């Protein structure tokens, strides 16, 4: 959401080739790696199910090689092992896949046939090297009774404005699941500012080599690697995985053609796929990629993770040159236009169908942008709604609230990214009426490092009685524990984003009780 000019370049996307499933090969011609460690980006696991998960790594002995290929050329066999114990003594599954240049030597191993609701450990080996042993875990079986689930949720990690200490502290909490709410990377770099560390390049990332290297840079961070070694993750994206405030096929810069922007989006989505533990069904087809997904913790929790960027309508009331987020006055008719959508009509139906079928005690919705209504003022003091969040898509927000209400969704809770502030809000049955029923709670995670939301939002708080708390100075993450009787949410703040050894403390904590919409301060 940072207001800034962009350099736009036309990029041509390589044609989409069919993926051939990797097979073991004895062919180890792998020119380019030169005996160096190919696992500089670590490993990760994610997309868990009750009997498996995806194991991920990407070979990159020279992670920032100019061509984006990490110093790799030919195909290389990569061996993987999954064990029932931490010392890797009892290997229960193993195999080999081929990494090649089509997907930047990334591998996505879909492991199945494991026991539900238990930890496993895994590692990769290739080119005479091995990754560290990583922990992962399976989900509970469908409908199973589950005593407790611990989530750690993170958003907005700009490499240049701090160290990823928050990721280190997340790892230390040993969560069952890590949830990324968007802005895992940033496509832009700061200019004219003294910073503790710099991106791999000063210009905006716009092409496949650029996005690949941006992920590579972030993945070299030891705190992020440590986090991925502790638990499986699920990830949705926000804007900065592609471009600030983009919407669907539209750049924030209204002068950029849809074709040019879709080429950029295709490169960005491909790099996202290559760098996340995603299933084959997420392999991008040109500029399109299926990301939204659902994860069940037995009968305890259903996690519905939407994609609020790829299918949304244009932001309302843009200018001839810019569509980027701004505070639009309530006279902007687009704000409430019922034909506009945040998720796209197909995804909306998928979300509401999932609500209808949910048997879970808790229904968790981790998503990108502020859902609660927020009446705010711009720099000139004009009051309105920020157009990039759900406030710019009010009819879609109403449809979501109605679906929650009409399906009698049990204990709905939203966890949100993007804002660069911790914020706590009641979600009202009628968001235009602060006295209407509370039907859900929203917890917004502060940024891992990114610069805080504007102070003017703090001044706007009295206009928003349903917002209980906001802190735009702290950086950190959310830790949440679910049990059959309650959800406890802790806002975890690091001591100093510029201190690589920053300590952690709890800024605020809340409890939501089963069957009682709304929150209490813990």
**Calpha distance 415→479 (Å, rounded):** 11
CB of 417 to Fe ion, least distance (A): 7
Of 177-185, 265-273, 281-289, 380-388, the segment contacting Fe ion by CB under 5 A is 177-185
CB of 47 to Fe ion, least distance (A): 23
Provide the 8-state DSSP code for 234: E
CB of 243 to Fe ion, least distance (A): 12
CB of 316 to Fe ion, least distance (A): 21
- For the chain, the farthest-separated pair of C-alpha atoms sits apart, in whole angstroms, at 68
> What ranges in 125-235 are assigned the alpha helix state H?
165-172, 208-219, 222-228
Indicate whether 187 belongs to the interface with Fe ion (CB under 5 A). no
Kindly tell me which of 180 and 269 has the beta carbon lying closer to Fe ion: 180
Kindly tell me which of 186 and 295 has the beta carbon lying closer to Fe ion: 186
Exposure class string for 2-29: b at 16+ Cβ within 10 A, else e? beeebebeebebeeeeeeeebeeeeeee
Q: What are phi and psi of 226, to 5 degrees?
A: -65, -40
Residues 380-399 contacting Fe ion, CB under 5 A = none
Distances (CA, A) of 55 to 48, 147, 167: 10, 26, 20
CB of 240 to Fe ion, least distance (A): 6
For the beta carbon of residue 290, count every other beta carbon within 10 angstroms. Answer: 15
Kindly tell me which of 183 and 187 has the beta carbon lying closer to Fe ion: 183
For the beta carbon of residue 357, count every other beta carbon within 10 angstroms. Answer: 11
Indicate whether 183 belongs to the interface with Fe ion (CB under 5 A). yes
CB of 274 to Fe ion, least distance (A): 21
Kindly tell me which of 124 and 237 has the beta carbon lying closer to Fe ion: 237
Indicate whether 364 belongs to the interface with Fe ion (CB under 5 A). no
CB of 474 to Fe ion, least distance (A): 15
Kindly tell me which of 184 and 431 has the beta carbon lying closer to Fe ion: 184
Of 175-183, 218-226, 478-486, 495-503, the segment contacting Fe ion by CB under 5 A is 175-183
For the beta carbon of residue 511, count every other beta carbon within 10 angstroms. Answer: 15
Distances (CA, A) of 247 to 67, 113, 195, 310: 28, 39, 30, 7
CB of 309 to Fe ion, least distance (A): 12
**Calpha distance 108→126 (Å, rounded):** 14
Kindly tell me which of 241 and 293 has the beta carbon lying closer to Fe ion: 241
CA-nearest of 5, 419, 418 to 204 is 5
What kind and span of H or E run contains 135?
A: strand 134-137
The CB-side HSE value for 142 (13 A sphere, CA atoms) comes to 4
Indicate whether 156 belongs to the interface with Fe ion (CB under 5 A). yes
Indicate whether 243 belongs to the interface with Fe ion (CB under 5 A). no
Kindly tell me which of 354 and 389 has the beta carbon lying closer to Fe ion: 389
Mapping DSSP to helix (H, G, I), strand (E, B) and coil, where does residue 210 land? helix
Of 81-89, 176-184, 280-288, 405-413, the segment contacting Fe ion by CB under 5 A is 176-184
Kindly tell me which of 156 and 370 has the beta carbon lying closer to Fe ion: 156
Kindly tell me which of 156 and 185 has the beta carbon lying closer to Fe ion: 156
CB of 446 to Fe ion, least distance (A): 11
Kindly tell me which of 441 and 450 has the beta carbon lying closer to Fe ion: 450
**Calpha distance 36→59 (Å, rounded):** 11
**Calpha distance 213→215 (Å, rounded):** 5
Three-state secondary structure string covering 363-374: EEEEECCCCCCC
Total residues binding Fe ion (CB under 5 A): 3
Kindly tell me which of 370 and 512 has the beta carbon lying closer to Fe ion: 370
For residues 413 and 366, the answer to whether their CB atoms sit within 8 Å is no
CB of 392 to Fe ion, least distance (A): 17
Indicate whether 154 belongs to the interface with Fe ion (CB under 5 A). no
Of 130-138, 151-159, 287-295, 388-396, the segment contacting Fe ion by CB under 5 A is 151-159
CB of 388 to Fe ion, least distance (A): 11
Of 168-176, 183-191, 298-306, 510-518, the segment contacting Fe ion by CB under 5 A is 183-191
Q: Write the binding mask 102 to 141 for Fe ion: x where contact by CB under 5 A, - elsewhere.
A: ----------------------------------------
For residues 386 and 421, the answer to whether their CB atoms sit within 8 Å is no
Of 105-113, 142-150, 154-162, 391-399, the segment contacting Fe ion by CB under 5 A is 154-162
Kindly tell me which of 155 and 358 has the beta carbon lying closer to Fe ion: 155
Provide the 8-state DSSP code for 50: T
For the beta carbon of residue 436, count every other beta carbon within 10 angstroms. Answer: 13
For residues 162 and 196, the answer to whether their CB atoms sit within 8 Å is yes
Dihedral sign for Cα 225, 229, 231, 235, please: positive
Q: Write the binding mask 435 to 454 for Fe ion: x where contact by CB under 5 A, - elsewhere.
A: ---------------x----
CB of 439 to Fe ion, least distance (A): 27
Kindly tell me which of 100 and 241 has the beta carbon lying closer to Fe ion: 241
**Calpha distance 516→437 (Å, rounded):** 11
The label of the residue with tokens 């791999």 reads 200
Q: Tell me which residues touch Fe ion (CB under 5 A).
A: 156, 183, 450
């Amino acid at each position: 959401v940072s207001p800034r000019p962009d350099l736009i370049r036309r990029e041509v996307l390589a044609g989409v080739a069919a993926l051939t499933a990797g097979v073991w090969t004895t062919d180890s011609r792998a020119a380019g790696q030169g005996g160096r460690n190919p696992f500089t980006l670590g490993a990760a696991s994610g997309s868990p199910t009750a009997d498996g998960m995806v194991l991920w790594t990407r070979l990159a002995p020279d992670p920032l090689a100019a061509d984006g290929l990490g110093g790799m050329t030919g195909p290389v066999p990569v061996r993987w092992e999954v064990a029932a114990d931490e010392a890797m003594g009892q290997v229960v599954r193993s195999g080999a896949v081929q990494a090649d240049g089509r997907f930047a030597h990334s591998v996505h191993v879909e492991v199945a046939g494991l026991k539900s609701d238990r930890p496993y450990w895994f590692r990769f080996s290739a080119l005479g090297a091995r990754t560290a042993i990583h922990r992962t875990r399976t989900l509970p079986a469908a409908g199973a009774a589950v005593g407790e689930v611990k989530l750690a949720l993170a958003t907005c990690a700009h490499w240049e404005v701090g160290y990823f200490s928050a990721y280190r502290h997340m790892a230390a909490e040993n969560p069952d699941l890590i949830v990324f709410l968007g802005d895992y990377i940033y496509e832009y770099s700061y200019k004219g500012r003294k910073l503790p560390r710099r991106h791999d390049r000063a210009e905006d990332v716009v092409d496949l080599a650029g996005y690949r290297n941006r992920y590579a840079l972030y993945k070299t961070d030891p705190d992020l690697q440590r986090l991925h070694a502790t638990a499986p993750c699920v990830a949705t994206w926000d804007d900065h995985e592609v471009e600030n405030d983009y919407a669907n096929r539209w750049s924030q810069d209204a002068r950029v053609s849809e074709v040019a922007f879709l080429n950029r989006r295709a490169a960005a989505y491909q790099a996202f796929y290559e760098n996340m533990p995603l299933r084959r069904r997420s392999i991008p087809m040109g500029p399109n990629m299926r990301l939204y997904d659902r994860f069940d913790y037995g009968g305890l929790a259903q996690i519905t993770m939407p994609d609020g960027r790829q299918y949304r309508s244009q932001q309302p009331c843009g200018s001839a040159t810019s569509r980027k987020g701004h505070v639009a006055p309530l006279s902007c008719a687009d704000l409430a236009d019922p034909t506009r959508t945040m998720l796209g009509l197909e995804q909306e139906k998928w979300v509401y169908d999932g609500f209808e079928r949910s048997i879970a005690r808790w229904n968790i919705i981790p998503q990108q942008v502020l859902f609660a209504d927020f009446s705010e003022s711009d720099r000139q003091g004009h009051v309105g709604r920020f157009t990039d969040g759900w406030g710019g898509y009010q009819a879609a927000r109403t449809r979501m609230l109605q679906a929650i209400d009409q399906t009698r969704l049990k204990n709905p809770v939203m966890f949100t990214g993007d804002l660069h502030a911790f914020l706590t809000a009641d979600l009202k049955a009628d968001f235009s009426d602060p006295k209407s029923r509370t039907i859900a709670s929203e917890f917004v995670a502060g940024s891992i490092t990114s610069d805080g939301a504007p102070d003017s939002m703090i001044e706007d708080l009295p206009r928003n009685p349903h917002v209980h708390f906001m802190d735009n100075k702290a950086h950190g993450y959310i830790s949440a524990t679910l049990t059959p009787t309650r959800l406890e949410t802790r806002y975890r703040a690091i001591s100093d984003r510029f201190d690589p050894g920053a300590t952690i403390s709890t800024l605020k904590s809340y409890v939501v009780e089963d069957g009682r919409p709304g929150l209490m301060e813990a």
